[in-house]
Chain A
């Protein structure tokens, strides 16, 4: 494909991506009360964890595992915002195992655009809007005038959104190779979240190695915090970005390799 063809294809996919977002948002807004309740419920759910941290810091004062209360709020904001953005845009990644098992993947294979993008963008989560909103609210409450905090927060959110989707996709792609990997997918998602919302130093060396390699959620949350606190050289941001891009590329390659093993279920479904 020459450069002009590549540029056209990129523009086409960008339009499809935008179209998916608009349609998903429109379907979410169809039941506005339900949408608002679910988003509010998720924000409330996240608040209960902040309450936990408030009590914990109230008990010991100072810091816990090298993190201050404000640091914990920052990693919570970045994780919550990143998770929200990821599941607003790519919620269907966690549905991959189910689509493979039921044979419903066929519907995504017949359309003239990237299978992977078509697949993972096809669904949104109503709860995710609450998560995304919660991240922004936390930042507005505790870091309102701090531009450096907002910069690294934005960087963390984008990185987390991409990495979380890639982790979920990779785990569910295993279904192509070994049968139903739905529970592995759920576990991988849970690991990613739990690696992000607690101070990294509470974990032992083996788990920390996992947080920066196989399930690299830490680079999207703990690295931005260290950059914000100036504990790392700004060049580390580029390394983290490079790592995230490499991980996402590997996840895509793994998916397409697995897709070759897919056998059609000959299921007739409508994709609306």
Chain B
């Protein structure tokens, strides 16, 4: 009962954030234009690459849909939580949040959810439109794969969100943590977002599959373009594991950081 009451509180925060996102939806149009531009460029680029010869494991249509999915996740589920954490910690405004009857980490997550849900719906529609327009339907994809895909995207969001939050909260101990953010972002780019893991050299591929970075973009996109129940059973537990670890790290980082806060004055 207590848990339900707690969750209701955060559901209200998420609902307010969703209403805010709808009110300021015009800001999304520029992002739509950027998304379309990136997809167009990558479609043309991969078209040129495939004209030169086959690329292992993926057909041209699959690779375009793969990129539509990875870029779609980046645009829809991306969050500025790293910047927000940095600002809250460095400005000291995190101290004001301590008095609220909510847990800071969960409240941040709830207040990002509204925007992410709206983004997912709108970018999802745009992604499907662009994919159908540029390369046609994805061969072998059935409606039955949608719940599995939704779960995979949700886990990808949670893993990425909590990792970014942990990196942001590192400003409790590191004054300028931009380098950490940039390194994380680029590892995500190189190990799944721009390129499927299968394209990497053997040693790097094996390493990538044992690190968390590929499970943010590669795992959901791979599941999308080549869904099989076996692949689902293979990827989802790993995604869930990395997401749980990222969550635990964020709560630990917040707990450790909050103990260092010194609030003075009124």
Contacts and interface: CB of A to CB of B under 8 A. Distances in A.
B186 interface: yes
Nearest to A66: B48
Nearest to B31: A183
A148 interface: no
Given A183-B30, A187-B34, A55 B47 contact: no
A61 B53 contact: yes
Interface in A155-203: 183, 186-187, 190-191, 194, 198-199, 201-203
B99 interface: no
Contact of A38 (B33, B53, B55, B178): B178
Interface stretch (A45-53, A94-102, A223-231): A45-53
A37 B195 contact: no
Contacts of A38: 178
A147 interface: no
Nearest to B182: A41
B30 A48 contact: no
Interface residues of B, number: 31
A25 interface: no
Nearest to A33: B176
B199 interface: yes
A60 B49 contact: yes
A40 B179 contact: yes
B231 to A, nearest CB: 22
Given A44-B182, A48-B186, A60-B53, A55 B48 contact: no
A48 to B, nearest CB: 4
Interface string A17-31: 000000000000000
A45 B49 contact: no
A34 interface: yes
Interface string B171-197: 000011011001101100110001100
Contacts of B30: 183, 186-187
B207 interface: no
A41 B178 contact: yes
A100 B33 CA distance: 24
A9 interface: no
Nearest to B43: A202
Most buried by B among A38, A41, A201: A41
A44 B186 contact: yes
Given A194-B41, A203-B44, A56 B176 contact: no
A61 B29 CA distance: 38
Contacts of B194: 48, 52
Interface in B141-193: 175-176, 178-179, 182-183, 185-186, 189-190
Contacts of A198: 41, 44-45
Nearest to A199: B48
B229 interface: no
Contacts of A59: 49, 53, 55-56, 199
Closest CB pairs A-B (n = 10):
A65-B48, A41-B182, A183-B30, A60-B52, A202-B44, A48-B186, A60-B53, A202-B48, A48-B189, A37-B179
11 contacts: A37-B179, A41-B182, A48-B186, A48-B189, A48-B194, A56-B195, A59-B199, A61-B53, A183-B30, A187-B34, A190-B34
